[in-house]
Amino acid sequence: MVQTLTLHFKLLKFSSCSLLLQIQLPLPPPELSNLQAKQKVEKIKEKGKRKERERGERLNMLEVQSLKKALVPKSLIPNPSPGNLQSTRLALHVKEDASPPSCWVYVASGCRIYKVLVRMGGSFVYQGKESLLIPQETLVLDSAVLNCCPHRSEIQSIVLAETESSGSFILGSVDSYGHLIVSKLDGSGDDVNNFSFSVSPRDFGAGESGWAGLCFNPSQWSMAAVARSFCKSIDIYDQDIHLRTLRTRLWYPSSLIFMNNFYGGSEGSVLAVAEGSQLTVWDLRIKENSGCVHRICGSVGDMVYAVCSSPTGTIAAGGADRTVTVYDPRRWCALSRWLNCSKYEITGLAFSSLSSDYIYVQGVDYEVLCGNWYESEKAFSFRGDSNWLGFSKCPSRDIVGGWCDSGNVFVADIGLEKRY
């Protein structure tokens, strides 16, 4: 039934008589008025959030406290293997309460994993042209080869994950054929009670070799996801037990991350995958459509090379279009697009642990920058001296590191800006 509004007009045509005209106009449906009211409320909330964000930005500005550069001994790695476009062959672990302050840097070259202890500390950071930070030379305090990760082909990705027990962490590595090895290490990087297991690929290495990615479930470290580019597959494991295989039939996967579950249920059952020029979302509990619950199309023809998630749940993606797009997973709409933030393709992303409004961006032009994605403003940047072979950020601290083809390792310690 259509609601109407009755309007009465009194027309005076002659002085001795009058004519009453009645017009009925349809009222807008109540659904439309409710929608307009909701949109108005959303605008008011967004305005309040923007003001609150601006106040928080003034209090949570980031600055580099130290930027160090160390040369990996040539006796340890004479000629690093070239790897792939995605720089996923480096992991960082900070030695807590160490004197002097130091950081373990794990790098993969060929079929082996190496660890290098880099001295941190220092309070002076110099700037060059265009506010580019200049690294300071530092010492390599220790270096060794890890014998708990024997691969037969070139390692493509290594990942560190924290465990429930303090003082230990998990190191996972995957090679070009999808062979996964997971080891438990202590704070010094030594194997704990020989705890290690390996999982062979489903095709037993008969497929084509290529880039392979790895990520651990943050709420359950025993669950891991292994992506194989040329096979267009993602294998889910619980330790050495194979749970499921996801098929990305359209494009080759290039990055993956476990994300907070906004569909209800336990955390860690939703996976975000960079697949060609799309960002796909997979729910491990669903069998329909192979578990794919959402597809977000990016720039046509521009590959997505990196995806990451923040502690607040937002998802960021970047790639060949040199743009960082941040999504709200509750509605899968773009919160912000930082256009042309990098000069070349983006191959690495990581949200800041100090402020989720900041993100670290790694490009193929040797540069690593940090900026506010909401305001599209760069805070600082530094460059390596050759192609990046690895780039990573500590899981719980704002310490980022990169490993270059020249053999140099760059480690930056970022903190909140000091106000006097």
Residue 99 maps to a domain: yes
Q: Note the pLDDT tens digit of each residue in 158-175.
A: 999 887 776 788 999 999
Average pLDDT over residues 268-272: 87
**Residue at 26 is within a domain:** no
Check which CATH number belongs to the domain holding 354 and give it. 2.130.10.10
pLDDT band at 5 (very low <50, low <70, confident <90, very high): very low
CB 169 within 8 A of CB 185: yes
CA max distance for the chain: 114
Q: What is the pTM of this model?
A: 0.83
In this structure, is residue 352 part of a structural domain? yes
What is the arithmetic mean of pLDDT over 254-283? 82
Question: For residue 14, is it within any domain?
Answer: no
Handedness of CA 260, 370, 229, 326 (dihedral sign): positive
Does a structural domain hold residue 9? no
In a domain, 175, yes or no: yes
Residue 26 scores a pLDDT above 50: yes
Whether the Cβ atoms of residue 200 and residue 212 lie closer than 8 Å to each other: no
Counted domains in the chain? 1
Q: Tell me the sheet residues that pair with 11.
A: 19
CA atoms within 13 Å, Cβ hemisphere of 331? 4
**Structural domain of residue 409, as residue ranges?**
64-416
Mean pLDDT of the chain: 83
- With cut-offs at 50, 70 and 90, classify the pLDDT of residue 245: very high
Note whether residue 33 is domain-resident. Answer: no
DSSP code, position 88: B
pLDDT, residue 3, reads 46
Residue 290: pLDDT band (50, 70, 90) is confident
- In the predicted model, what is the mean pLDDT of residues 335-346? 93
Q: Where does residue 53 rank: exposed (0-12), middle (13-18), buried (19+ CB within 10 A)? A: middle
Residues 396, 352: Cα–Cα separation, whole Å:
9
Whether residue 261 has pLDDT greater than 80: no
Instruction: Identify any residues that bridge with 293 across adjacent strands, giving them in sequence order.
Output: none
What is the tens place of the pLDDT at every residue in 104-156?
999 999 999 999 999 988 767 888 887 789 999 998 999 999 988 889 999 99
The b/e string for 208-242 (b: 16+ C-beta within 10 A; e otherwise) is ebebbbbbbbbeebbbbbbbbbbbbbbbbbeeeee
13 has pLDDT over 70? no
Measured CA angle at 392 (ends 391, 395), to 5 deg = 180
pLDDT tens across 370-392, in order?
999 999 999 999 999 998 999 99
Could you report the per-residue pLDDT of 80-98, keeping only the tens digit for each?
998 788 889 999 998 777 7
Q: What is the mean pLDDT of residues 260-277?
A: 74
Decide: 113 and 173 in contact? Cβ < 8 Å.
yes
**Residue 160 belongs to a domain:** yes
CA dist 143 and 388 (Å) reads 20
